[in-house]
Amino acid sequence: MREFNFKGILQSEGWYENMTVSVNEKGNIQKIEKAANIEKCSGYAIPGFQNAHSHAFQYAMAGLAELHDTTTKKNDFWSWRQSMYELALKVRPEQVEAIAAMLYKEMLRHGYTHVAEFHYIHNDLKGNPYSNRAELSERIARAAQSVGIGLTIIPIYYEQGGFGIPAQKEQRRFLSASFEDYLELYESVMKMSKNYEHCNVGMGIHSMRGVSLENIVKLADYRQGNTPFHIHIAEQLKEIKDCISFTGMRPTEWFMKNIELNKNFHLVHATHLSETESSQLAISGANVVICPTTEGNLGDGLFPLDSFLKHKGKWCIGTDSHVGLNPFEELRLLDYGQRLTSHSRNTFGNSNSGDNGAIAINSVLVNGRRAMGMENETYFKVGTPLDAVVISDGHPLIGMTGMKHLTNTIVYASDASMIQGTIAGGSWKIRKGENQDTQIEQNFIKTMKDLSNRL
């Protein structure tokens, strides 16, 4: 049995000072009790964050789409997408694994202990299925296991290029030939996942424009139990316009009318909602995965959080294209975008506590875990893995802050330098900013040299 001694651990009801957390050989919590020797205590442990939306391969192009055309041509999501296609069309299986391992190591360094990989590169360079249908999904699973981050792999269904439009040649690596073909892929990923620890499987559709309406309904009906179902929706204004032209309804409007939503449905972005859509989506119990740094980078827009929270809507965060990897940065950008439009500072204050930071952490923890297919609303719980990001009490700002203001100081005034380390599955994965496995960096550097896209 191993012991971790903390100056404080955060539970839903607040901070517990000077605590010892004991874990067994599997990394599961056995006991949580007052520390016998407070001199051994250091750092403040908050539950590890869940990154509820990731496209791992896009980390290889982070920062590369900022050299804009100097003509009057608009640079937006659709022009960015062409750069993404160029990368997706040439990345090989071993490169997918190397990029994902580097990314996941960086996620751990910033405090994420679990990631939902919205994975849609399935085919070889020519667009044909690999003999092992789960080849690229398994590369992702191997990368996650190599660094020690928990994974929910979501093989994504993609079959067409737009509403009623055939797929483009640039999308050939994403495509399933039919509904049955996607199910074969899904079952292959399910089988593969059993060979990896801390690996769950979800299912998902790339977007309403990427799959026929009939098959969207079929897959939603196929989903069982607490299997998480993920979909990009209402991210772009053009998508809204095209959906109205094709269906007579807005995307989220159509989705809610045709799918019986519940807590196991996770709508990514949902940036452009009408007031009615916002209220109905909140009432449905479905979760929205907001990706503030990516949505800001792409110029998508601001999610209507204020109206969503009036109806007690559920939300969590993801890093999507990975232009940012700090969960606190995601929360701050989400919050400050709302403040700038509402001229009010209590963005997350939809409970009696009025404690913005505590409310935000609770939302991303509980709803983020659900996006992974995990049902656990207790922060640190006996019998579950010890997953924590530890904030250093040695930093003067943190060290001089009392329990009343500690959570908000961490959420609103911290940066990566204040993170003492990250624990996942009951062991340190990153400590004092470093992971000793340099092979991950070497593999990533070699991949970048081979791709030659960052020069």
Q: Which residues are part of the catalytic machinery?
A: 269, 320
Cα distances (Å, whole numbers) of residue 358 to 197, 228, 386: 30, 25, 20
Q: What is the DSSP letter of 48?
A: P
Query: What token pair was written down for 69?
Result: 């055309």
CA distance readout (Å), 85 to 172, 177, 205, 440: 10, 19, 18, 25
Question: How large is the C-alpha radius of gyration of the chain?
Answer: 21
The total of other beta-carbon atoms located within 10 Å of residue 394's CB is 11
- DSSP annotation of 438 reads T
Pick from 387, 392, 351: which is nearest to 151 by CA?
387
**Cα 175 from Cα 153, distance rounded (Å):** 17
Task: Give the CA distances from residue 294 to residues 28, 80, 417, in Å, rounded to whole numbers and listed in that order.
Answer: 34, 12, 22
Give the helix ranges, DSSP H, for 29-178.
77-88, 93-110, 135-147
Specify whether the CB–CB gap between 166 and 212 falls below 8 A. no
Q: Under a CB-based contact definition with an 8 Å cutoff, are residues 318 and 53 in contact? A: yes
Please give the span between the terminal C-alpha atoms of the chain, in angstroms, as a whole number.
49
Contact 210, 158 (CB under 8 A): yes
Q: What are the residues whose beta carbons fall under 8 Å from the beta carbon of 208, sequence distance 6 or more?
A: 163, 216, 231, 233, 239, 243, 251, 254, 255
Could you tell me which of 59, 139, 55, 145 has the C-alpha nearest to residue 92? 139
